[in-house]
Structure 1
Amino acid sequence: MNKNKNKNKNKITKALILGLGLSFATTSFTAFAANVPEGTKLAAKQELVRGNGNEVASLDPHKTEGVPESHVIRDLLEGLVNQDADGNTIPGVAERWETPDNKTFTFYLRQDAKWSNGDPVTADDFVYSFQRVVDPATASPYSWFLEMTSMTNAADIIAGKKDKSTLGVKAIDTHTFQVHLEHAAPYFVMMMGHTTVKPVHKATVEKFGDKWTKPENFVGNGAFVLNNWVVNERIEMVPNKFYWDNAKTVLTKVTFLPIENQVAEMNRFLSGELDFTYEVSNEHFRRLKKDHPESLQIKGSLCTYYYNFNTHKKPFDDVRVRKAISYAIDRNIVTDALLGQGQKPAYFLTPEIIAGFSPELPAYGKMTQNERNTTAKKLLAEAGYNKSNPLKFSLLYNTSENHKKLAVAIASMWKKTLGVEVTLENQEWKTYLETKKQGNFEASRAGWCGDYNEPSTFTSLMEGSNTTGGIHYQSAAYDELIKRGIEATSAEERTQLYYAQEAQLAKDMPIAPIYQYVQTRLVNPHVGGYAANNAEDKLYSKDMYIIAE
């Protein structure tokens, strides 16, 4: 794990050197596409079938917030930058970029970038798309992402105080796009690889409204174009003949299958229906490791699994209850016995694999589990709960056998240690997201995967105006630390503020971090170009191909 961590840090350092376009240099790259090794014999049929967990909530990049959606959108739409197989930031629509001060960024777009209907991709497309994200009328669940960049006027536009036209973006000319920030952000270019800042085709969106993502209406600028979408069954796409690098795309068809049950997904993989899975069933991991080692892929991941408390509702409006429930989770049993794939116990929201993140464990992380349990009992008793008045609450999770089994096991820990009575409630992905957004829950399963390799991609999640996570916490002290982090003028100052933010979370306990992920899936050895070293799990189908068996 430490070796992979250091390797990742070296890669991200390289990405920063290449991607930030410091004042003394302009960054320039050669084209990037699938690299088929010389001598590789390609299969006659170049069709890839990918497991994708849940049915996507939407294919509109400005109205999504989940990982399943991002996997699909990454193939259909291309932003300013992409990532290579090792997670380095590389050109997308922007072939180069520069900045004099890490506050003003100028992106030079490819002359040959086109939409799937043949229209050129222009700087105006990015102006329109960025403004659409912050426009309150769009109701983007990720509008906060642009606010976190400190993009000029983003916060006021989202709050309805200023018009979207005042956002700090402009088209210098047809192929030159410029962004202005209120505070320096040396990692800004890395942030531009996120789903939310991918462009949409203005004429198509305005003509069809919410129906623009239907296959018959869809216009994108990615390597693939939407061909068929049968809800809860499959999403199919074919190469975009107008994509600037289409000549190097090997696959002729890509299919995403929404399979929530990991055992069913595993069986379909083993029968040859899938080329790779979304994840792996926990209880079958050891057998798969023994019987199918050639197909098992495990890599470190910029993701944390946690339980989210609604601090505005009883019983979790009491910090003593939140701490008791968190402390009584035996994280070592979760990672070693229930999962056993290399996951690490989590006492922070930010995973330690993230570049430049090495905080001191909070006090409860240094305790033995017996000490945590003893403290949890004391806290719960102080809050007024005991055998005659047991704590009762519901735990929400999105439909998944892995989430269910973990919830059952942790509920058993709470029952045994604290006498807590937990009702488990599952909902399908789209409903689960809406329930969380509306705050109609007491405690909820959650997971967060970094949008870029820097601590703020995690710590900003709990900022008060963040509708994804922070809205159910809302701490003035925490929000002030976030503000100071954004305004920090040095990397050292910013890092210390990240540690302070994590310390505030440990004090307030709005979430119970449980474990740091690894990404485990089954991948058929005939899949070439699979990005096994990309810690953010950004898998571009354009870089893959099928090897002849």
Structure 2
Amino acid sequence: MKIKRIGVAAIALAAAGALTLSGCTSGAPSSTEGAGSSTAIITTNGSEPQNPLIPTNTNETGGSKITESIFAGLVYYDVDGAPHNDVAESIETDDSQTYTIKIKPDQKFTNGEPVDANSFVDAWNYGAALDNAQLNSYFFEGIEGFSYDENVPELPGLEVVDDTTFTVTLAQPESDFPLRLGYTAFKPLPASAFDDLEAFGENPVGNGPYMLDGEGAWKHNEKIDLVVNPDYDGPLKAVNGGLSIIFYATQEASYADLQGGNLDVLDQIPAGALSTYQSEFEGRSVNQAFSGIQTFTVPERLPHFSGEEGKLRLAALSKAIDREEITDVIFEGTRSPAHDFTAPTLDGYSEDIPGTEVLEFDPEGAAELWAEADAISPWSGSFQIGYNADGGHGPWVDAVANQLKNNLGIDASGAPYPTFAEFRTAITDRTIQTAFRTGWQADYPALYNFLGPIYGTGAGSNDGDYSNPEVDSLLDEGLAETDLDAANEKFQQVQEILFQDLPAIPLWYYNVNGAWSELVDNVQYGWNSVPLYYQVTKSE
């Protein structure tokens, strides 16, 4: 299966006229129309979230799988990545800079509090404020008044008009602002959340298709149990009884449960089963391209990786990796070698950006570059790549390390962390002292989303602390374009610089590899690899 090329032109802003995202049904879910609801619980795989479940502080897959299920935003993305209104009644602009957002009346959180304009404005203000140190604060950067230098408790660019209307004024016109509004960072919060946000994050109250199954629903490092929210009446209304998201220690364990009939829907297949799972689960499996890329990051703070020496060593590392061999042997052809920093499912993607040749396998050239770096400062020590052992990354990390060892003549190895949460915490706290695996699963379908949040100065997912003023300027210029092609041209210029600096080393593009049990039907995997759980049906 392959998803259609995602088109964002439909929501790109024209230079004149108003944009309205209305509540039309075109492109909306239809596979479960007419299906009756069931009380059966859908079991699926997941991972322990890094942080308490606050949308503005959740930027990893373990937590976002949950927050996307329990919070409804202004818009949602359909199976192909196209935006449609959820809580929003309309999103309008005349100039691509000031937006008037109306939400549907009579919306409620599961504790009975109203979902109103303040629910969004207060949550966004909290997410943007410097003192709150939220991982997703970068997503509010474009709103007038945002600052990285001083705390701004209330952004002047956010204004409540009435209970169901608020306005957003950006610092400049931005081409893809409406498309972002389905991302986790832009979800609403009830007023009571601000009484004790830490406690709220352990037992969050949302407004989405699912809600936590009472106190103790989140059993840390084990699972989280969600049930259907009976008050949600939006386009993602669930036709099952709920979700049980199990935090497996390894991909092999989750696959064994699927084989044994103890798991319903799986979205990660261990490397050892990639050659057999489609035949084993014939008619109940997927091998589908989605908007995601695997990389690894070498922070400039590590010895030998700053200045001219660092650039030479990063280019040498990249050229020493045979991506085609690893994707064929380790991943059985279910990945494809990277040619850029984004994903081939996106409009504007190109394999011909100047500098992309640094991703081509060239062991002789790699050795020469490494020797040039040694002439500046002789290499010492070993090279390690950190990764989470519960994510099935060991085989490819070992393969990359072996290639680096053989082609550069250095000691190289993997450095496993037991869990994703521990691994991400070490990265976020900057306590990790090695290179580390990184990657990106799109928040919304646009080139900018693979660039700004990761490589912009101070961005929330800029794990290597990369900073280049020219990159920042081009990112701003691209956002200011109201023509999608012109914006993408700026973003491609950003990538030319990234190929020179290599703040992360692109490896390959993801496919979602998944399978499901005989007990469930209507299983689809979305543009971002996540199953559309709300439409899965299960025999009782």
Q: Percent identity?
A: 21
**Which position in structure 1 is the counterpart of 2:97?**
103
**Counterpart amino acid of residue 212 in structure 1:** F
Aligned-pair CA distance for 1:248: 4.8
Pick aligned residue for 2:501 from 496, 500, 508: 508
Residue 186 (structure 1) aligned with residue 138 (structure 2)? no
**Which position in structure 1 is the counterpart of 2:428?**
437
Structure 1 distance, partners of 2:416, 2:236, is 45
Structure 1 distance, partners of 2:128, 2:359, is 44
Distance 1:375 1:336, change over 3 A: same
Residue 209 (structure 1) aligned with residue 197 (structure 2)? yes
Structure 2 distance, partners of 1:22, 1:53, is 45
**Which position in structure 1 is the counterpart of 2:220?**
231
Structure 1 distance, partners of 2:300, 2:401, is 19
Q: How does 1:498-537 map to 2 (within 5 A)?
A: 498-524=491-517, 526-532=519-525, 534-537=526-529
**Which position in structure 2 is the counterpart of 1:252?**
241
**Is there any run of 5+ residues in structure 2 with no aligned partner, and where?**
none
**Which position in structure 2 is the counterpart of 1:171?**
160
Residue 353 (structure 1) aligned with residue 345 (structure 2)? yes
Residue 60 (structure 1) aligned with residue 46 (structure 2)? no
**Which position in structure 2 is the counterpart of 1:298?**
287
Structure 1 distance, partners of 2:494, 2:44, is 37
Aligned-pair CA distance for 1:404: 1.0
Q: Larger deviation: 278-287 or 29-38? A: 29-38
Return the TM-score normalized by structure 2: 0.91
Answer whether contact 1:27 1:96 (CA < 8 A) is retained: yes
Structure 2 distance, partners of 1:236, 1:20, is 44
Structure 1 distance, partners of 2:270, 2:502, is 30
Pick aligned residue for 1:414 from 395, 398, 404: 404
Q: How does 1:470-509 map to 2 (within 5 A)?
A: 471-488=464-481, 490-509=483-502
Residue 36 (structure 1) aligned with residue 28 (structure 2)? no
Answer whether contact 2:318 2:505 (CA < 8 A) is retained: yes
Structure 2 distance, partners of 1:274, 1:190, is 34
Q: How does 1:57-456 map to 2 (within 5 A)?
A: 57-147=51-141, 150-154=142-146, 156=147, 158-160=148-150, 163-203=152-192, 205-215=193-203, 218-227=204-213, 228-245=217-234, 248-317=237-306, 318-363=310-355, 365=357, 369=361, 372-384=362-374, 392-400=382-390, 402-427=392-417, 428-439=419-430, 440-456=432-448
Pick aligned residue for 1:8 from 5, 8, 23: 5
Distance 1:530 1:172, change over 3 A: farther
**Counterpart amino acid of residue 272 in structure 1:** G
1:464-515 C-alpha deviation (Å, 9 max, x unpaired): 2114226522223322322332334543432221111111111111211000
Aligned-pair CA distance for 1:207: 2.5
Distance 1:166 1:55, change over 3 A: closer
Return the TM-score normalized by structure 1: 0.89
Structure 1 distance, partners of 2:356, 2:348, is 23
Structure 2 distance, partners of 1:480, 1:538, is 33
Structure 2 distance, partners of 1:109, 1:78, is 12
Structure 1 distance, partners of 2:352, 2:278, is 34
Q: Larger deviation: 482-491 or 172-181? A: 482-491
Answer whether contact 2:319 2:358 (CA < 8 A) is retained: no
SS for the counterpart of 2:392 is helix
Aligned-pair CA distance for 1:447: 1.0
Structure 1 distance, partners of 2:267, 2:41, is 17
Which structure carries more helix by proportion? 1
Answer whether contact 2:102 2:165 (CA < 8 A) is retained: yes
Distance 1:93 1:476, change over 3 A: same
Q: Larger deviation: 439-448 or 246-255? A: 246-255
SS for the counterpart of 2:154 is helix
CA RMSD for the aligned pairs?
Answer: 2.7
Aligned residues: 528
Aligned-pair CA distance for 1:25: 6.0
